[in-house]
Amino acid sequence: MTDERLASPAIHLTGVTKTYDRRGDDEVLTIMEGLDLSFHSGELVTIVGPSGCGKSTILKLIGGLVPLSGGSISFEPSSPNPRIGFVFQDYANALAPWKTVQRNVEFGLEIEGVASKSERADAAARYIEMVGLNGFEDAYPRELSGGMQQRVQLARVLAYEPDVLLMDEPFGSLDAQTRRDLQQELRKILDSLHRTVLFVTHDIEESLYLGDRTVVLSHRPARILADFERSDQTSIFEDFVSSDSFRKRFHEVWDLLRSGPDDA
């Protein structure tokens, strides 16, 4: 596969509303109402907010997994079928346990209809190397640690060469050290690919470290409490979290998130 497509698109949410009918109840649960939010081409935006505020719903709406209740979502340049890749927290169920690392990474290309076996193999090898799994091509998921399994899922999604990458708390179930290592690796990988990336997390440190931009959402119905760009370009996690700019921003976000729905 080649990288000759148009630039990774910007995404515009205009007046987006999402509601659910409560089972056995006449009331409607409003997740978001009239939300306006844009994501620029090629930037990594982290979305942080309280549990149940609609962070993951935004990804599902953009990816077409759930329908809009109102408003619109558009891509710029306009495309009827942008290539969208998902990376989920549940890496174990995302992988086929009977397939090797190589075959798991190739699997998405087979679904996409890449007919040439050599082309699939070359693409898989490229992204296996990119995520640091050289030497594990013939291993099965059960033989890998959680962090390595998540790397396989990431390589499989990247091999599909999505225009937009949607990541829903992908490191949430990993231990702290593995999580830090993958955060640093992810920044390096995504900096080289120039894709539009939306990364949902409940972790303030993670949101501030990874994001070119961080969007802070309120309790539902979701509204934007803050939207700011990364102030420190340091790529080393320890240096970043020890900076004065990080500590100031962390407390700003913490104060916003701990506010109740009436005073947020």
Instruction: For residue range 151-168, list pLDDT tens digits in order.
Output: 999 999 999 888 999 999
Lowest mean pLDDT among 38-42, 208-212, 220-224, 242-246: 242-246
Terminal Cα distance for the chain, rounded: 47
Mean pLDDT of the chain: 88
The continuous run of DSSP H or E covering 58 comes out as helix 55-62
0.75 exceeded by pTM: yes
Q: What is the pLDDT of residue 234?
A: 72
Q: What is the pLDDT of residue 51?
A: 87
Instruction: For residue range 199-227, list pLDDT tens digits in order.
Output: 999 999 999 999 999 999 999 899 999 99
pLDDT-derived band of residue 25, with 50, 70 and 90 as boundaries? low
Say if residue 99's pLDDT is above 60: yes
What values do phi and psi take at 5, rounded to 5? -75, 175
Instruction: For residue range 46-82, list pLDDT tens digits in order.
Output: 999 998 899 999 999 999 999 999 999 999 987 767 8
Q: How many CB atoms neighbour CB 124 within 10 A? A: 23
Q: What is the pLDDT of residue 69?
A: 95
Residues of the chain with CATH 3.40.50.300: 1-83+191-264
Q: Kindly report the CATH class assigned to 1-83+191-264.
A: alpha beta
Q: In angstroms, rounded to a whole number, what is the distance separating the alpha carbons of residues 108 and 83?
A: 12
Say if residue 3's pLDDT is above 60: no
